[in-house]
Amino acid sequence: MTVTAAAELSDLRSFLHGLPGVDKVGVEARAAALATRSIKTSSKAKAIDLAIRMVDLTTLEGADTPGKVRALCAKARRPDPADPTCPPAAAICVYPAMVKVAAAALAGSGVHLASVATAFPSGQAPLEVKLADTREAVADGADEIDMVISRGAFLAGEYTRVFDEIAAVKEACGGAHLKVILETGELGTYDNIRRASWLAMLAGADFIKTSTGKVTVNATLPITLVMLEAVRDFRARHGRIIGVKPAGGIKTTKDAIKYLVLINETVGDDWLSPDRFRFGASSLLNDLLMQRTKLTTGRYAGPDYFTLD
């Protein structure tokens, strides 16, 4: 940790509360304005391939089985079996119990393996349990960990506790990348989202992620815009590039392209890469494939031409 970061930590609360406010009306208007960009033809084709490469193909169900996870891994490796030019997804994202199965299925593919951990999705478990959860997932082969913050602690103003938890999980990750889920739908205000973003980045997050997908409000454009502004400002101050992952509710190619436009006009090139930006999604991938096929063939194929899972 840098000296400045340590000094900030000593007065974390005043630092977080000293961040410039976010005007709700303004940020929503800006996101809505960018959503009107018209992305056509060659730029649409590029956007679709980039979006496919950014997908964290996710299954987080109580009903997940090894069979389901293997099928998902196959899909991530080769999303469109009919078209070898179609790029693979960025990663698959599963519960810790499924990491071993996924690791075997993804071996040698270059597709990353993300595991949610730390008592996902509520985060309401003792720290020791969360750390054990994390260590196990990494030991089983996950190279990315998606943790949840304790929203209760954050909302109660116990910033140091949240900071320490993130730092401890980061340590438990070892070489694995850490994505910190802010669960923005439970934070209530854009000001809180900006503060939580900074808190997570200062504590060592490699990525900040919007949501678990398990609450009513998941990723939205304005929430992602606020988080992108935070990673942009963090880089200006600390020189380190933090990734962003909106998750939950992004279902269509049109949605995904709006996010790419947001990156393009807020933080720019450096984030237009799967190393810096991911979509946490499941049904999005098939819509991307459908639009991709439409662009290459000029025809819409029915849903039966794209694999389930």
Peptide bond into 121 cis (omega under 30): yes
Tokens of 300: 């819409």
Catalytic residues: 146, 209, 245
Q: Does 298 bind another protein (CB under 8 A)?
A: no
In whole angstroms, the minimum distance from the beta carbon of 220 to another protein comes to 16
Q: Does 22 bind another protein (CB under 8 A)?
A: yes
Using alpha carbons, select from 291, 285, 251, 250 the residue that is nearest to residue 52: 285
Backbone φ and ψ for 91, nearest 5 degrees, come out as -160, 165
Q: Which of 5, 35, 43, 214 binds another protein (CB under 8 A)?
A: 43
Q: Among the candidate windows 34-42, 77-85, 112-120, 213-221, which touches another protein by CB under 8 A?
A: 34-42
Q: Which of 221, 260, 284, 290 binds another protein (CB under 8 A)?
A: 260
Q: Which of 109, 122, 160, 264 binds another protein (CB under 8 A)?
A: 264
Q: What CA–CA distance (Å, rounded) separates 105 from 111?
A: 10
Q: Which of 3, 20, 62, 298 binds another protein (CB under 8 A)?
A: 20
Contacts with another protein, 227-246, as mask; x by CB under 8 A? --x-----------------
Q: Are 207 and 273 in contact (CB under 8 A)?
A: no
Write the CA distances from 23 to 28, 31, 83, 190, integer angstroms: 9, 12, 45, 8
Tokens of 78: 């080769």
If DSSP codes are grouped into helix, strand and coil, which group holds residue 91?
strand
Q: Among the candidate windows 31-39, 72-80, 97-105, 239-247, which touches another protein by CB under 8 A?
A: 31-39
Q: Which of 10, 14, 42, 216 binds another protein (CB under 8 A)?
A: 42
Q: What CA–CA distance (Å, rounded) separates 18 from 194?
A: 11
Which of 30, 179 has the CB closer to another protein?
A: 30
Q: Which of 14, 38, 85, 216 binds another protein (CB under 8 A)?
A: 38
Cα torsion 95, 97, 100, 106 to 10°: value is: -20
Which of 259, 306 has the CB closer to another protein?
A: 259
Name the residue type at position 227: M
Interaction site with another protein (CB under 8 A): 20-23, 25-27, 29-30, 36-44, 46-47, 50, 229, 260-261, 263-265, 268-269, 272
